[in-house]
Chains A and B, each alone.
Chain A
Amino acid sequence: MHILGIACFYHDSSAAILKDGKITAAAQEERWTRKKHDTSFPINAIKYCLREAGITIKEVDCVAFYEKPLLKFERLLSSHIEMFPKSLGTFTKALPSWAIEKLRIPSILSKKLGYKGELLYIEHHMTHAAGSFLASPFSEAAILTVDGVGEWATTTLGTGKDNNITLLKEIHFPNSIGLLYSMVTGYLGFKVNNDEYKVMGLAPYGKPTYYEQMKKIIDIKQDGSYRLDMSYFAFHYKERMHNRKFEQLFGPPRKKEGEVEERHKDVAASLQKILEETYFKMLNHLYELSGGMKNLCISGGVALNSVANGKITKQTKFRNVYVSPAPSDAGSSAGAAIAAWNMALGKKERSRMQTAYLGPSYDEAYIENFLTEKGIKYVKLTETELIRKAAKLLRENNVVGWFSGRMEFGERALGARSILANPCNPEMKDILNLKVKHREKFRPFAPVVPLEDAKKYFDCDLEVPFMSFVYPVKEKMRQKLPAITHIDGTGRLQTITKEQNPRYYKLIKEFEKLSGIPILVNTSFNIRGEPIVMTPEHAYRCFTGTEIDYLALENFLIDRKENTKDWWDSEKLAKD
């Protein structure tokens, strides 16, 4: 039995396919269209999923959609009625897309795919809960979903047992901790629904001196429930997120690409403090509500706040935490398909998402043909030779583009489409930020470490294969690892085992033989504003337009010095 999950028309469109309850393929549409957070119907991702499953659309038994569009439309109309006449501008702008596509899912499926079969609509926060709990290794767990907004819900608490989920409590739009975070992201001159992680990265540079002002705009109860004072916000009736009253309280907003002042860092720090306060109060309430369950599954865009996630076991009584590789809306296609399988169809077998490597791969023949056709100079090596050579290059402070196996599903590069570098080099952060990624200086880089070595270098208590948790770097190790140690002495960790990605694991171990350190800098293979690369063509284009020194396309090693012709000027194209 095949179930196709689809998420689209808001942000991060994606598709996923389940074969007899097992997830066999999943990917975001942005990787094909090259538009970051692409919202369009994921036709390319769907075609890929069908190809990977070896079927045509006729063999799909059921399509699961990641929200209930009419409920969402009801929320939209309710907002317009409540905010009349202020919301005229957004009404005339938003309504055509509802008439053309958002309310016409069956006809779009029929027109674009020729699909006229069973269509199930899964409540948005249920897709988050299902993509988290039902994909987790736990047989029972407490569940928290937090994002900007679904239909009405912005936050839900629930529990999961075996193949079932019960959502118990929720908070409704416009009260949303996710939208509060996005609003401040916009206020700080970053892009809403895109750059929230930058605010999280900026926060440790500041002091939470705006905490009291923050408390004026959000009322947080002891049980973690909260409400926003909407007189400071504009997102419920305008395209702008905040209003003048907010600026009177916090000062003028930062202009896009403007200088990051101390005040901006302090606002970011205050926001992060408010988020964590709400998060841990909610989680402590959830712990009581669940009857003391020790396992926790979190999902929704806010679950990407890896700084808060890293403190969960210290701030709450939860002992095991699962965050899927795609906790935001990108993962909702998989969540919808899983919910359809377990909850709508009542199947008992669970689809545990133990790997993020669910995207396309390219075989040697394809890559060799591409390289030859384009006249690119390369060396073909065996896997062992490549690993030895790449480790040596990394030890010599070269930046290596690492393209290997199936692409990751979700927001993170986890060793399939990664840029790797030496974490011991104090200059490496600047080299990567300015020469390769063309991004802001304040942003940190993430480390990858074999699971068995993680505790030697980090104060961590969980296995973190999907890079969803930030942990302190051990104090005595910080000087040895300047490229991955953030200003507050932390790092957003990925642990790796031989089973999860043997090739990647071997490379890190080989690097350890040369440097004594079993850690690499791992950053996504893209430049700022571009989706992560998917094909060898994307990878080579990014490689030539940046100052990446070597590119490993599977077992083909390409030296930048021998291929000096740039395909594009990535610095000019780097944008948010």
Chain B
Amino acid sequence: MIKILSAPLNAFIKFGKKVGEFNSKVLLTAVYITAIGITAIIAKAARKHFLELKIQPEKQSYWINREQKQTTMEEFKRSF
């Protein structure tokens, strides 16, 4: 009996996973277009860049100086 039922059960689980994947893709695409898209449009209008994508031959150095301060215990406890 269990053997007979296991095949359709597995197929049903597989189908459920596919539906889940599809749903999450649709949802995330909506999030991408609304949240990421709108922010990207605003950032582009404001000429704000989040990544350095181009080389700048005129620059002497690309090093970024780190802020020098003692890390506190509270900062170690933070995930950011």
Are B28 and A91 touching (Cβ within 8 A)?
yes
A169 and B63 contacting across the interface, CB-CB below 8 Å: yes
Binding site for A on B (CB under 8 A): 24-25, 28-29, 31-33, 36-37, 39-40, 43, 49-57, 59-66, 68, 71, 73, 76-80
A68 in contact with B53 (CB, 8 Å): no
Q: Closest CB-CB distance, A145 to chain B, in whole Å?
A: 12
Tell me if A502 counts as interface (CB < 8 A to partner B): no
Q: How far is the CA of A18 from the CA of B49 in the complex (A)?
A: 42
Contact A88 B32 (CB under 8 A): yes
A219 CA / B54 CA spacing, docked (Å): 10
* B62 x A225 contact (CB < 8 A): yes
Residues of B within 8 A of A81 (CB): 36, 39-40, 43, 50
Could you say which residues of chain A place their CB within 8 Å of the CB of B56?
219, 227
Cβ-defined contact, A80 with B32, below 8 A: yes
Which residues on A are within 8 Å of B, measured CB to CB?
A: 68-71, 74, 77-85, 88, 91-92, 95-96, 103, 105, 118-122, 156-157, 166-175, 218-219, 221, 223, 225-231, 236, 340, 343-344
Q: Are A120 and B77 in contact (CB under 8 A)?
A: yes
Residues of B within 8 A of A167 (CB): 66
A84 to B38, CA, bound (A): 10
A121 touches B77 (CB 8 A): yes
Q: A82-B51, A91-B32, A227-B55 are in contact. Are A70 and B63 (CB under 8 A)?
A: no
Cα A343 to Cα B57 with chains together (Å): 38
- Residues of chain B within 8 A of A120, CB atoms compared: 76-77
Chain B contacts for A68, CB-based, 8 A? 78-80
Q: Who on chain B is nearest to A152 by CB?
A: B64
Q: Is the CB of B54 within 8 A of A230?
A: yes
- Residues on the B chain within 8 Å of A121, using CB: 76-79
Contact of A175 among B49, B62, B73 (CB under 8 A): B62
A398 to B32, CA, bound (A): 59
Specify which of B53, B55, B71, B79 is in contact with A69 (CB 8 Å cutoff). Answer: B79
**Using Cβ atoms and an 8 Å threshold, which residues of chain B touch A340?**
76
CB-nearest residue of chain B relative to A172? B64
* 8 A-B pairs whose Cβ atoms sit less than 8 Å apart in the complex: A91-B32, A91-B36, A167-B66, A175-B52, A218-B55, A219-B56, A223-B61, A340-B76
- CB-CB < 8 A to B28: which residues of A? 91-92, 95-96
| Shortest Cβ gap from A129 to chain B (Å) | 12
Contact A119 B51 (CB under 8 A): no
- Among residues of B, the one whose C-beta sits closest to the C-beta of A173 is B51
A568, B73: Cα distance in complex, Å: 52
Which residues on B sit within 8 Å (CB–CB) of A231? 53-54
On chain B, the residues within 8 Å of A343 by CB distance are: 71, 76
Residues from chain B with a CB closer than 8 A to the CB of A228 are: 55
A82 and B57 contacting across the interface, CB-CB below 8 Å: no
CB pair A169–B77 under 8 Å, yes or no, is: no
Which residues does chain B contribute within 8 Å of A168, judged by CB atoms? 65-66, 68
CB-based contact A225/B61 at 8 Å:
yes
Complex CA distance for A82 and B53, rounded to whole angstroms: 10
CB-CB < 8 A to A69: which residues of B?
79
Q: Which residue of A88, A169, A171 is within 8 Å of B29 (Cβ)?
A: A88
Inter-chain contact A122/B76, CB cutoff 8 Å: yes
Please measure, in the bound complex, the distance between the C-alpha atom of A221 and the C-alpha atom of B64, giving whole angstroms.
Answer: 13
Q: Are A236 and B51 in contact (CB under 8 A)?
A: yes
Kindly list chain A residues whose C-beta atoms are within 8 Å of the C-beta of B51: 78-79, 82-83, 173-174, 230, 236
What is the CA–CA distance of A239 and B73 in the complex, to the nearest angstrom? 37
Collect the chain A residues with CB atoms within 8 Å of residue B79's CB: 68-71, 103, 105, 121
Cβ contacts under 8 Å, B78 to chain A: 68, 70, 121
> A85, B37: Cβ atoms under 8 Å?
yes
Cβ contacts under 8 Å, A171 to chain B: 62-64
CA distance A227 to B54 in the complex (A): 7
Q: For residue A77, which residue of chain B has the nearest CB?
A: B36
> How far does the alpha carbon of A4 sit from the alpha carbon of B71 in the complex, in Å?
20
Q: Are A226 and B73 in contact (CB under 8 A)?
A: no
